[in-house]
């Protein structure tokens, strides 16, 4: 778990009484670290990653972040998640994934749907833990 994650999380929990859960920084941090490590292994199954696998990992991170931001906006408004927001994150992911695979040195291919499903499931589970 990074220092930036830890301090950011602590700052948010200290900022006000509106957090629905508290004291979960370590658990969520471990979950994120484990997920990122597993994802990196799935995209670069060999010890020497390529430009494509590096790009795919960055794209996956942006997709997860985009999805989480859509959820955060919905929670802040007390409204359902905006389908257009999720659709935009999905479209950006698909476009960037295609560009990464076009690099030609991918260690894995045709895995966009599988990776995206894993990302969405991960974010949904974390949101469910934070917004009971």
pLDDT band at 117 (very low <50, low <70, confident <90, very high): very high
Supply the pLDDT for residue 1: 67
* More confident: 91 or 49: 91
Q: Note the pTM of the prediction, 2 decimals.
A: 0.85
pLDDT digits 0-9 by tens, 60-95: 999 999 999 999 999 989 999 999 999 999 999 999
Domain ranges of the chain: 3-130
Q: How many CA atoms lie within 13 A of 26 on its CB side?
A: 1
pLDDT band at 116 (very low <50, low <70, confident <90, very high): very high
| Nearest one of 129, 9, 117, 5 to 60, comparing CA atoms | 117
Question: What span, in angstroms and rounded, lies between the C-alpha atoms of 75 and 71?
Answer: 6
The radius of gyration computed from the CA coordinates of the chain, to the nearest angstrom, equals: 16
Question: What span, in angstroms and rounded, lies between the C-alpha atoms of 50 and 105?
Answer: 6
The token pair at 92 is 């950006």
Report helix, strand or coil for 81. coil
């Amino acid at each position: 778990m990074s220092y930036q994650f830890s301090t950011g999380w602590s700052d948010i929990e200290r900022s006000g009484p509106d957090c629905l859960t508290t004291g979960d920084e370590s658990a969520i941090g471990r979950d994120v670290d484990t997920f990122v490590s597993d994802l990196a292994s799935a995209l670069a199954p060999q010890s020497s990653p390529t430009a494509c696998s590096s790009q795919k990992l960055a794209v996956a991170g942006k997709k997860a972040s985009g999805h989480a931001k859509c959820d955060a906006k919905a929670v802040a408004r007390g409204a359902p998640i905006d389908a257009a927001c999720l659709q935009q994150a999905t479209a950006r992911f698909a476009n960037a994934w295609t560009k990464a695979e076009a690099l030609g040195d991918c260690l894995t291919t045709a895995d966009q749907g599988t990776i995206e499903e894993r990302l969405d499931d991960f974010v949904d589970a974390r949101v469910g833990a934070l917004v009971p």
